[in-house]
Amino acid sequence: GAVVSQHPSWVICKSGTSVKIECRSLDFQATTMFWYRQFPKQSLMLMATSNEGSKATYEQGVEKDKFLINHASLTLSTLTVTSAHPEDSSFYICSARDRGGWSYEQYFGPGTRLTVT
């Protein structure tokens, strides 16, 4: 149990276009989902926290207009990178907290590799 999926696993887009990444909790309801960014050989950096039905909370330095997060249901959160540029190329990971499980457990998705050309 406690599986989180991400789609797509890998995406290439042209500079200036937008790309949407989906994060789904497959067998549990997630009240809170988190979005992380990971550069090569670096750690995970928290970008934003999203709660179902409310606006996401962004970390300092993360452009909310560039990284749009929507948490429309208890099983789905989306991250849209708008007007992508090569510097947005990175590995994006989501995690989800199980509303019914141990309160503080986070389950991680497999990540999405974004390449902007």
Partner 1 sequence: AQTVTQSQPEMSVQEAETVTLSCTYDTSENNYYLFWYKQPPSRQMILVIRQEAYKQQNATENRFSVNFQKAAKSFSLKISDSQLGDTAMYFCAFMKPYNNNDMRFGAGTRLTVKP
Binding site for partner 1 (CB under 8 A): 32, 34, 38, 42-46, 49, 51, 57, 91, 93, 95, 97, 103-106, 108, 110-111
Which residue number, 39 or 85, has a Cβ lying nearer to partner 1?
39
Residue 41 structure tokens? 């050989």
In the complex, least distance from residue 88 CB atom to partner 1, rounded to whole angstroms: 18
Which residue number, 29 or 38, has a Cβ lying nearer to partner 1?
38
Q: Which residue has the tokens 């406690």?
A: 2
Which residue number, 11 or 91, has a Cβ lying nearer to partner 1?
91
In the complex, least distance from residue 49 CB atom to partner 1, rounded to whole angstroms: 5
Annotate the chain with three-state secondary structure. Answer: CCCEEEECCEEEECCCCCEEEEEEECCCCEEEEEEEEECCCCCEEEEEEEECCCCCEECCCCCCCCEEEEEEECCEEEEEECCCCHHHCEEEEEEEEECCCCCCCEEECCCEEEEEC
Which residue number, 65 or 104, has a Cβ lying nearer to partner 1?
104
